[in-house]
Amino acid sequence: MRRRGLSTVVPRLGTGSILKPEFGKCVVLLYNSVRYGGPGVARILYVEDNEDNIYMLKQRLERHHFEVLVARDGQAGIEDARKHLPDLILLDLSLPVLDGWEAARILKQDERTGAIPIIALSAHAMDGDGARALASGCDEYGTKPVNFKHLLNRIAVLLGRRAASDTG
């Protein structure tokens, strides 16, 4: 057992690991995945065009043992989601080529990617922006700068829901 910040990571040989946030909820983060052919690390697709944001968040997520793929515009994000079928998508809303709102709509309407949880991350913090992101298909909405501890909690909850639905 290893302590990591506000959580405990409990390795389970052959079945993955469990993240236990201090408030007591257990969420499967690493689990047997048919796609990976065995135990695998949760794969996150981060769709972002700002290099500083990419560098900062990708490094922090990788330190928490996530595999992070990066797409730099909305259209590339859709293509990468279809190709790699990530466990979760972090999606900026102000993107070149195709904005995040439209990318989320397309991803949620596609039977291959529709069940993938999407967390919108945006500097858009005006009234109604969160509701607009949720209406476009995003499962969660967060503003920048990112509160990393809160983001990790939201990722854990969404991946736990996905793992439960994959096994049920």
Q: What is the pLDDT of residues 94-145, one digit of tens each?
A: 999 999 999 999 999 999 999 999 999 988 777 788 899 999 999 999 999 9
CA dist., res. 149 & res. 157, Å (int): 13
Tokens coding 165: 């639905």
pLDDT at 163 exceeding the cut of 60: yes
> Which pLDDT does position 165 carry in this prediction?
66
Whether 92 and 47 have beta carbons less than 8 Å apart is answered as yes
Type of residue found at 64: H
Question: Three-state SS for 123?
Answer: coil
Mean pLDDT of the chain: 81
* Threshold 0.85, pTM exceeds: no
Among all chains, which residue has been given the structure tokens 């790699």? 84
CA dist., res. 130 & res. 99, Å (int): 15
Domains defined along the chain, listed by start: 1-40 (no CATH), 42-154 (3.40.50.2300)
Quote the radius of gyration of the chain (alpha carbons, Å). 15
> Which pLDDT does position 126 carry in this prediction?
78
The candidate with the shortest Cα–Cα distance to 163, out of 15, 60, 6, is 15
The candidate with the shortest Cα–Cα distance to 103, out of 70, 68, 73, is 73
pLDDT in tens, 61-76: 999 989 999 999 999 9
Mean pLDDT of 147-166: 86
CA dist., res. 126 & res. 12, Å (int): 43
CA dist., res. 92 & res. 100, Å (int): 6
Backbone CA torsion sign across 73, 82, 139, 155: negative
Q: What is the DSSP letter of 73?
A: S
Among all chains, which residue has been given the structure tokens 């257990």? 26
